[in-house]
Structure 1
Amino acid sequence: MRPLLELFWSFFKIGVFTFGGGYAMIPLIQREVTDRKGWIPAQEFLDLLTVAQSAPGPISLNTSVFVGYKIRGYAGAVASVLGVVVPSFAIILVIAVYFADIRRNPVVDAAFRGMRPAVVALILAPVFSLGRGMHRALMLVAAAAALAIWLLDLSPIYVILAGAAGGILWELANIRKLRP
């Protein structure tokens, strides 16, 4: 059985040295738990990653929960989540403490203005990569949903619920077509 501290430390290192969001952490988590530590076989990691992607929440947290649980049960899940979250929490806490003092600094303000396009690109990149294999009609539906949220100030929750209902109705209609 793996010590909880070793599990925490592995995920702590990943949390400290990963920039670019949750998807950027996945290769580091895989390298750590499959290649370096050998805790989980590669195919099993891919299965855990599939479950993590389908669960609500950030992919990096979901992956750390499932990997930690697989390795050491509930205690492992807690240790791995804490390992991945504590670095970000500490960094944000330090920034928040000093941000009020430096927010009016013209250099800091210029840096934030310069980061905006990069943040937009980081958000749009996964959208385009997910949309590559999507049918054109579904791309139009996604664009209409985004415009409805943006222009009509519609809650994303309603758009998600409408999409789920539409998907269920679509599948039910296809099932009826297949029946003789």
Structure 2
Amino acid sequence: MLLDLFLTFLLVGFVSFGGGYAIIPMVELEVTRHGWMTSQELIDVIAVAGMSPGPIATNTAVFIGFHTAGLLGAIVAAVAITLPSVLIVFIIAAFFYKLYEAPAVQSAFYGLRPVVTALIIFAAYSFAGSNGLFSLSEEALPGGLLFLFCLFALMKFKWHPALIILIAGFAGIVIY
């Protein structure tokens, strides 16, 4: 079990370009493939991980590791998901200034931007769909309205995300 956790999150760590939200589709695939959690359990974990201090990828790995194999599983998953980043940063830092100006490197960064954006949008779409936001039921209406309010407050009024999280949590207590 611990070896599976380590190898899974090591792989996720090596291919997680674009930040924590971009890895959600791969984590969901791996977690459900191994039977460690259901998709709904993972959605709940991602929601808590996103609101917790620190990187969402590491927080998600810690929650999944803990759920799967206790404290040792949490440690193994956290080390595995952060190890690739640490190694890559050390390697890149050694050659950064020489490589960064290279046209091929600049082109690669431009090529990765649309992929990262697509992965984040896909994760948001999957997350919304799993939470019933695309449903037209009476139960989905409050969540959909809360989503629209939060999106509007973030985009139009530029409210701080922490304030939005507090408001949404309070609204959830009142509504549900």
Q: TM-score band (shorter)?
A: 0.5 to 0.7
CA RMSD in angstroms, aligned pairs only: 4.0
Structure-to-structure mapping, 1:37-56, within 5 angstroms: 37-56=34-53
TM-score scaled by length of structure 1: 0.61
Q: TM-score when scaled to structure 2?
A: 0.62
CA shift digits 1:116-145 (9 cap, x unpaired): 9759968x969x989xx5677766653466
CA distance in 2, matches of 1:42, 1:161: 26
Greater RCO structure (CA 8 Å; 6+ sep): 2
Which residue in 1 is equivalent to 2:16? 18
Relative to 1, partners in 2 of residues 1:140 and 1:95: Cα closer, same or farther, differing over 3 Å? same
- The secondary structure found in structure 1 opposite 2:24 is helix
Q: Distance in 2 between matches of 1:81 and 1:145?
A: 36
Q: Which of 19, 30, 33 is the matching residue for 1:32? A: 30
Aligned residues: 155
Report the secondary structure of 2:35's partner residue.
Answer: coil
Structure 1 unpaired stretches of 5+ = 149-158, 176-180
Q: What is the one-letter code of the residue matched to 2:154? A: A
Quickly say closer, same or farther: Cα 1:110–1:143, change in 2 above 3 A. same
Identity %: 32
- The reply to whether residue 142 of structure 1 matches residue 150 of structure 2 is no
In structure 2, relative to structure 1, the CA distance for the partners of 1:137 and 1:99 (3 Å cut) is same
| Corresponding residue number in structure 2 for 1:178 | none
- Residues 97 and 141 of structure 1, relative CA distance in 2, 3 Å threshold: same
